[in-house]
Amino acid sequence: MTTFAALLRGINVGGHRKIRMSDLKQVHQSLGHENPVTVLQSGNVVFDCAESDGRALARNLENAYEQAFGFPVGVIVRGTASLRDIAANNPFPLTADREAKFLHVFLLSDAPEDKVLENFRAVDRIEDVEAVGDTVYIYYPQGAGRSKLTLGSLEKALNVTATARNWNTITKLVELASQR
């Protein structure tokens, strides 16, 4: 068995595309996944399964979610080792001047092409941005709500699908996945 975290994209935001976490757990149980545990209401599920290919698992989950909930749900899947790497590779160590609430992690469907990433990095902005493989770390010094660097703009600039989580959620997911 391999432990994975499924991070659903764009659910339970502003009262739209609502999914109860108990229903989400049931979908995972119906797929034969063991020990599904949800984290927060934004669509994070840690579970164990026999599958070892995260991309294939993501496609299977997207199909299962659409069948169960009646609308498409994007999903990014990461294994325990990947989650630990995300935490270990944080280029913005938290200090008195760098608070966790301003650090967001964008998990990408694929690593961006080098030229695309080079162009993205060249843009002058107030946010601190660093890409590591298929993960982008963004520190929003004035808060994410005030920034023009949104999930949609990042996806468009990097030509990928992504989902974002704040640092506290990432550390909860790492902790939960590592306890298995």
Give 107's strand partners: 135, 163
Same fold: 2-82 with 91-167: yes
Report strand pairing: 128-132 vs 2-9. unpaired
pTM equals: 0.93
The answer to whether the beta carbons of residues 12 and 41 sit under 8 Å apart is yes
Q: Which CATH number fits domain 91-167: 3.30.1360.70, 3.30.70.270, 3.40.50.12780, 3.30.930.10?
A: 3.30.70.270
Domain 2-82, CATH 3.40.50.300 — does that match? no
Lowest mean pLDDT segment, chosen from 26-30, 77-81, 93-97, 160-164 = 93-97
Q: Taking the domains of the chain in order of start, what are their residue ranges? A: 2-82, 91-167
Map tokens 């757990």 to a residue. 25
Distance separating the N- and C-terminal Cα atoms of the chain: 10
How would residue 13 be classed by pLDDT, with cut points 50, 70 and 90?
low
pLDDT in tens, 120-167: 988 999 999 999 999 999 999 999 998 999 999 999 999 999 999 999
